[in-house]
Amino acid sequence: MGYLGGFLVSLRQIGRKQRVTTQYPKEKAPKPIRVHGRHVLNRYEDGMEKCIGCELCAGVCPAKCIFVRGADNPIEDPVSPGERFGYIYEINYLRCIHCDLCVEACPTEAITESKMFEFSFTNRADAIYTKTELVVDDDGMPQKMPWEDWRAGEDLPTSAWMRATSPSGSAAFEGVVGWSGELGYGIRAPEAAQELKDSVATPSEMIDEHGHGHEDHAPGTPEHVSPEHDEHHDDEHGGDR
């Protein structure tokens, strides 16, 4: 065909059903599991807030978009387990770059990120999220503001990936990154080759969303981690409550 062969190449594309277009506002492309979206402030299962007002997130924030002030917990009606709680917590989403450093800095994993990043504002006041908007509701789910575009699944894995090694001081996890087991709502599936230790790190009372609940004291637990884990489990929850 010579010069005209190219015309057939383009003509053959007509009518082929090979569109990869996502009709964006109507449907969204699937998001990666660790996508950084809007933050949430998590609570324990008993309703206590995890934030202890330490201001590490504000200190680490490269965009200087987080403002935290801690205060002593009221003795008769504590907001968080422990001495202090986040009295004021603000994130300015006009500045936030969603780098997730706050999540990494947080010692109690109070702040995590959801997968939802499609939100916009018509005024600056709306862009500043306070505790009113950030704290999860009683089910551990993020609150959904009217200007945010939440779809199914975007609020689910709000728990953080614990990047520190040996989380919670368990010797079994020396040199291994692992999941922390008891974050806000839902637990992410572990990555490949981590399932064994992760499953042990998951407290028994947490039912994970993939349906295979774990029993810490079950006979099938690998013996080289179970004793340490039991201690860690007891320690942590004993201290918290």
Partner 1 sequence: MLGGDPLLSGPIDLAVVLIVILKVVCVFAFLLVATMLMIWFERKVVSDFQNRVGPNTAGPFGILQTLADGIKFFFKEDLIPDRAERRVFILAPLLTVVPAFLLFTIVPFGGDFSNGHDGSVEIFGRTTYLQLADPSIGILFALAMSSIAVYGVMLAGWSSGSKYPLIGSVRASAQMVSYEAALGLSVCAVVLTTGTLSTHGIVMAQAGSGWGGFIPHWNLIATGFVPFVVFLLASQAELNRPPFDLVEAEQELVGSYHTEYSSIRFALFFVAEFMNSVTMAAIIVTLFLGGPAGPALLGPGWLWGIIWFLLKMTGFLFLFVWVRSTVPRVRYDQLMDLGWKVLIPLSLGWILLLATFWVARDQQWNGFITVAIGVVVGLTGYGLLKAAIATSKARRLEGVVD
Q: Which spans of this chain sit near partner 1 (rule: CB under 8 A)?
A: 6-7, 9-11, 13-16, 18-21, 23
Between 7 and 147, whose beta carbon lies closer to partner 1?
A: 7
Q: At closest approach, how far in Å is the CB of 77 from partner 1?
A: 53
Beta bridge partners of residue 128, listed in sequence order: 92
- The DSSP H or E segment spanning 129 is strand 128-129
Instruction: Give ∠ CA 70-75-77 in degrees, rounded to 5.
Output: 90
Q: At closest approach, how far in Å is the CB of 27 from partner 1?
A: 13
Q: At closest approach, how far in Å is the CB of 29 from partner 1?
A: 15
Contact 88, 134 (CB under 8 A): no
Between 21 and 122, whose beta carbon lies closer to partner 1?
A: 21
Between 9 and 29, whose beta carbon lies closer to partner 1?
A: 9
Distances (CA, A) of 211 to 19, 134, 159, 189, 214: 35, 28, 17, 11, 9
Backbone φ and ψ for 194, nearest 5 degrees, come out as -120, 0
Between 25 and 211, whose beta carbon lies closer to partner 1?
A: 25
Q: At closest approach, how far in Å is the CB of 32 from partner 1?
A: 24
Between 12 and 241, whose beta carbon lies closer to partner 1?
A: 12
What would you report as the CA-atom Rg of the chain, rounded to the nearest whole angstrom? 22
Q: d(Cα 115, Cα 39) in Å, to the nearest integer?
A: 9
Between 9 and 125, whose beta carbon lies closer to partner 1?
A: 9
Q: At closest approach, how far in Å is the CB of 24 from partner 1?
A: 11
Distances (CA, A) of 141 to 37, 67, 148, 185, 210: 14, 23, 14, 6, 17
Q: d(Cα 97, Cα 125) in Å, to the nearest integer?
A: 18
Q: At closest approach, how far in Å is the CB of 9 from partner 1?
A: 7
